[in-house]
Amino acid sequence: MATLTNNLLFKSPVSLFPHPRLLPLLSYASTLPFLPKISSSRISSTPNYNRTPLIPRATAAPGAKKAEKKERVQRVHSIQEFDSALESAKERLVVVEYAASDSEESSQIYPFMVELSRSCSDVEFILVMGDESAQTKELLKREKVENVPHFSFYKSREKIHEEEGIGPDMLVGDVLYYGDSHSAVEQLHSVEDVQKLIEDHKVDHKLIVLDVGLKHCGPCVKVYPTVVKLSRQMDSVVFARMNGDENESCMQFLRDMEVVQVPTFLFIRDGNIEGRYVGSGKGELIGEILRYQGVRVTY
């Protein structure tokens, strides 16, 4: 077993306890029709100017490119179809957009989900139009979706994350954070996984950058695309990730390493923790990695 020698540098952004919570951005969302005193025929929160409805974008005329959209973004129309789609996905990440035909925000974000669906073949994408029928309204009610656009993320039929009012950058970050299984970032699920990773790289003396976060940490999601990109570009560095709230073994590792703020990046070489960076600054993270690689960095 490898021993971690703790030479830790403390800095101070996001507190680990209590766990960060994502607040709905209600000013960017629409009210659903099944709420009291709201018409059941439409979902809307802003005047209907000359907006382009979402449905034509989602179900355009037949053609090669349009067929690809339909294939990668599955449209479901009932609770039964929804449950069947989650069951078929098994352990793959499923990203569901709950939308409305007259929601401008839904129309704006949907094309980005289509593009993501083309590049993320290991992720399933689903579109639910909340104002399509009584069946879809019932589905949104069951899933406790009160505003659109609303994104929910599922694995093994379990909802693991959800957000409202997000933009393209956050959507991309969420998909990478919760579903990127093909990147060069090693996923660690226990103290034993950390020990094995350290043992594996004692021979090559590579720097290990261990990204420690939480499942629902906004800054952790924000910086993760940078981690993924660096993992594909820096062959001389090993990148790994652990979510402290995944299980008790992971949480014990955080306690042992005195991690009280996330995201925390531990820099490990030859079984020793040479330092840490706490925060989600992309430039600062890159600078710290270069510094521990022996590159002189000035700020």
Catalytic residues: 217, 220
Note whether 76 and 85 are within 8 A (CB).
yes
- φ, ψ at 202 (rounded to 5°): -75, -30
Tell me which residue of 54, 165, 61, 62 sits closest to 114, measured CA to CA: 54
Distance in angstroms (rounded) separating the CA atoms of residues 262 and 229? 20
Note whether 33 and 41 are within 8 A (CB).
yes
Tell me which residue of 93, 225, 112, 219 sits closest to 152, measured CA to CA: 93
- For 30, 225, 296, the CA distances from 121, given in Å and listed in that order, are 30, 17, 39
